[in-house]
A and B are shown apart, each in its own frame.
Chain A
Amino acid sequence: MNKLMKKIMISVVLTGVAFALYQNFSLMPEYQGLNEGLSNYIIKSGLNDTGSLNLITAVLYDYRAFDSLGESTVIFGAVSGIVLILSRKMLPVSSKGLSFIVKRALGIMTPFIALFGFYVITHGHLTPGGGFQGGVILAAISIIFSIVYGSAFDYRRYSPQTKTLFETGGALTFLGLGLAGILMEGAFLQNLGFLTAETGTLISAGSIPYINIGVGFKVGAGLAIIFYSMIQKTFEEDF
């Protein structure tokens, strides 16, 4: 009976909150289309300002580059926090992995996955994608290795120290480009003018591709580190 009362009370409160929220959110102004607001400005002059065909990348790494720097710092902090909490000195115990067929097939496929990851990273300013997305694809390789070939396979080739180096290298690339912006263009994270080239080519859009590469390495290595510190813990518990 008591439980029932509790449930009824909770549902009454939740309904009330939902109703209040609905009342207020129905007051939101209608979506005004592209004629007004910032999107119009970006579509008009984003290409001119940044030289990047992918306007999302232009916003992420040029207009609001500082926020992206903050976001990648959050990833850096989250990775080091997770490693701090979960770190064990034990090596992950290797499982034997999946069958020979899967191993062979993935052996052929992985280079192409890596190529695709690098493509997404380096063409971030031309086609959809960018550092964050490509980095996740690179991290997926690491996870595939651990599932298909057993967890020690990747661990032996790229130790956590190497991955940390990659990660911090990415962060420092971003920060370094920001400081270079101060020295050369006079403002933090300003797009480097001498790197601009004809729009649409691979090496164009100023410092955006290089920031993309830095972020890509950072995200890829960071997610791989998180994955490995998490499976480390489960293995220790299992045995």
Chain B
Amino acid sequence: MSWMNIELILLITLPALTAVLMYFSRDFNQRVRNFLAVSGAGAELYLIVSLFIYNFDQVKNSNFFLQYTIGYQDTPFVINFAMDNLSLLFSLIVTGAVFLIVIFSTQYIKDKENRYFGLFFLVLASIQGTILTADLFTLYLFIEAITIFTTPLISFKKTEETTRAAMQYLFYGITGGVFFFISIILIYFNLGTLKMAAVAESFALISTPMQLTIIIFFLLALLIKLGIFPIHFWLPRAHSACPAPISALLSGVLLKVYLYIFMRLFWTMIAFDFLVELHLSAFVLDLALVSSLIGHVFALQADNLKKMLAYSSIGHIGMILAVLMLNTEAAFYGGMLHIIAHLMMKSGLFLSSGYLLQTTLSHHIDDLKGIGHKNRLVFIAFITVCLGTIGMPPLIGFVSKWYVLLAFLKARHFFGAFVVAAGSIIALIYYLRYISQAYETVKSESPSLKEELISLKAFFKSTNTMKSVIYTFTLLIIFFGLGYQLFEIPVNTAIFELLNPQKYIELVLGG
């Protein structure tokens, strides 16, 4: 009877099956293994894109909704999977980015690929589960799963530094998970249900101090996971220690998933009015802005390329969180666009830095001398993405930052507007530091730009797969910067979901 909407389950089980398959691929030919990995991620992307295209009319009218129920229909504790426009948007962008990262990793990772890809696809499965689930306990399970699966990936290189970073990541991840779990227990004791929709319906029945406790623990958990200021120090270490594709996954994709959870919890499940009533929204807004500023300032003093990028991530995530806390339609538009923009830009930056750092001695700024001459086109791509992050006009970073700035100005929140502008200027300085260092002349011979362009003929050879992924990200950033209206429909419908949580609640409870 419920062949309907089987796609939702497939979205979660398909990467899990791929993971098991990849785990046993040690004896496979490298070509076969790469093909398997790419096709596993490609099938996932195909599924979600076809979901988007086949339901395009419904998406346009923002009444798109899919639901899948596991268990006995009329019992109070079935597990629901639901997909509305918000989940669809996030699932789409996350899967697209992961697909490109998988293509990059097939060339980048040279040893123990079977375990690497096994864990990678498990992370993908848990990300999809996190996005699709409509049940608090399943959400908790998947959040914990993400932490546990990414920890070994961080310490993939097995040096002292990476191990320390991974241990710290695990510790803070688990601590955040425990806070999340406390909130879940409190909700269960008070309401006797863990369905998000049912909780949303009756959250007002809980006494106010209890509401405060629940919300504070949820906030603590998510602020730890997002790396907001007081508890941010684990993030740069963890995000810079791992191999480049994992950095891109953590910084580009996973932080957005936590932002999605944030929206799901505080707009759909717990209405945002509760945060305003308890005077928490203004506090979180200021905290996020301070965090944004501090992230950018710390990026200024970071002498390690990947650490600099990770600190800049803190800056951007703080900005997105702050603009979402404004709770206006313009703010959501800017925030969503910047989520998409930051996803593409940070993945592109980390992947290209990973490619550039293959030939250098270390990640330190002094060892980067002359890499701009060695890999001209890749470095030009790197500069383009950097400009996007700063907010140069034809690129998507400009569009999203512009709307964020407008939202702050519209809400008459001038500190926020200041942070956005100051962040851009500080970002300009710290990127220029690296760019000027990279163009320092060194004595060694390097091919001229003409030769490099001639070598474009070899563009589609397998050795250039990594480069082509980097170029794809760069072109996407330029393309969507010019045609950001393409995101109009998915983003606007996602905002509709945020503003009208009633629809989600009714549809989930209605079965």
Contact = CB atoms under 8 A, between A and B. Distances in A.
B17 interface: yes
Given A27-B209, A85-B155, A77 B119 contact: yes
A236 interface: no
Given A49-B72, A84-B152, A186-B2, 12 more contacts: A27-B210, A37-B192, A38-B192, A49-B75, A64-B77, A65-B70, A67-B141, A70-B145, A73-B16, A81-B119, A175-B13, A187-B70
A175 B16 contact: yes
A27 B152 contact: no
A74 interface: yes
- Tell me what chain B mostly uses at the interface: helix, strand, loop, or mixed: helix
Contacts of B152: 80-82, 84-85
Nearest to A30: B189
Given A74-B145, A77-B149, A24 B77 contact: no
Contacts of B158: 85
Interface string A165-194: 000100110010011001000111110000
B435 to A, nearest CB: 36
B9 A182 contact: yes
B38 to A, nearest CB: 21
Contact of A84 (B2, B13, B112, B213): B112
Given A24-B210, A182-B9, A70 B138 contact: yes
B118 A80 contact: yes
Interface of A: 23-25, 27-29, 36-38, 41, 49, 62-67, 70-71, 73-74, 76-78, 80-85, 164, 168, 171-172, 175, 178-179, 182, 186-190
Contacts of A172: 20
Nearest to A182: B6
Interface string B99-112: 00000000000001
Contacts of B142: 70
A84 B115 CA distance: 7
A168 B119 contact: no
A24 B145 contact: no
A84 B69 contact: no
Interface residues of B, number: 54
Nearest to A172: B20
Contacts of B213: 24-25, 27
A23 B207 CA distance: 13
Contacts of A65: 70-71
Contacts of A186: 1-3
Nearest to B125: A73
A28 B145 contact: no
| A36, A62, A67, A172 pick with most chain B CB within 10 angstroms | A67
Contacts of B17: 175
B102 to A, nearest CB: 17
B283 interface: no
B24 interface: yes
A169 to B, nearest CB: 10
8 contacts: A64-B71, A64-B77, A74-B141, A78-B148, A80-B115, A178-B13, A188-B9, A188-B68
B156 interface: yes
A85 B137 CA distance: 29
Contacts of B16: 73, 175
Interface in B189-204: 189-190, 192
A38 B76 contact: yes
Given A27-B210, A84-B152, A70 B75 contact: no
